[in-house]
Structure 1
Amino acid sequence: MFIYCYAGGCDVLRKLMGLTLVCLASFAAGCSSGSSEVKVEGTVMFMNTPVESGEIIFMPEDGKSPNVATRIEQGKYSLVASPGLNRVSITAYREIPGKFDNSNPGQPTPMTEMYIPPQFNSNTTLKVTVDAAQPTLDFPLGSS
């Protein structure tokens, strides 16, 4: 690509390029990782056993920051959450041995149940403080 300069044309081009750079710098600053989000990870156990598969949700108490959720796999999770006090909801389902949904003829589907008690999800009492100084948050649910 060739740019030709003619009387006054280069000056206009320089101003346009300068404005473009200012806009790009402003955009980059707004999208930088200057936010105070914190990477959090940990384990989720239920009755001293890792939660094989489930979901964990961090809900900031300030109501201004968005909720964040991620999968729990083999008892482990990792996500980026807002700092400060967060309510936490944990859900997990498991198959009910010997029970099937037969509503689709010829294709029995194993039935599942939510096995994490409501005080850890729909009526959660779990609260944690998310802080970069403490990036590991473990949840030993229902353990003795």
Structure 2
Amino acid sequence: MTGCAAALAFGSTSALATPGSGVTGTILAKGTSAGTLKVKAKGRTDVIVRSITIAPGGSTGWHYHSGQLIAVVKSGTLTRTLQDCSVEVTPTSTSFIEPAGARHVHIGRNLGTEPVELYVTYLVPEGSPLSVDADAPACAGG
């Protein structure tokens, strides 16, 4: 929630996409399922667990994921703006799920004064990037 950004393996799709800043990530574990998981993917599914840190003032840039992800906020407060420009605020010790696909463009920001630390589990089609750069939606002035 590429998730994530700078170290999120973005695949650039647009000259107008907003780059992320202040984001680092570390892959903690990775495996590939022997069969298809229930993630609207054909073929095998990569399951990747990452630790992601967003510095104060940092953001992921606008992006989406090719598979579903589940995130837990270990510390700090993550503010996400979704494709319809609604805002979701997720504080420490809470979690969220992000759906897959280009219809679910979003950006994550750290508007606080302490780093946001996340544990994120990605369920993506085998070999897919963890997130894909995207233009800001029209409602965001992008």
Q: TM-score, normalised by structure 2?
A: 0.27
**Larger radius of gyration between Structure 1 and Structure 2:** 1
Higher strand share: 2
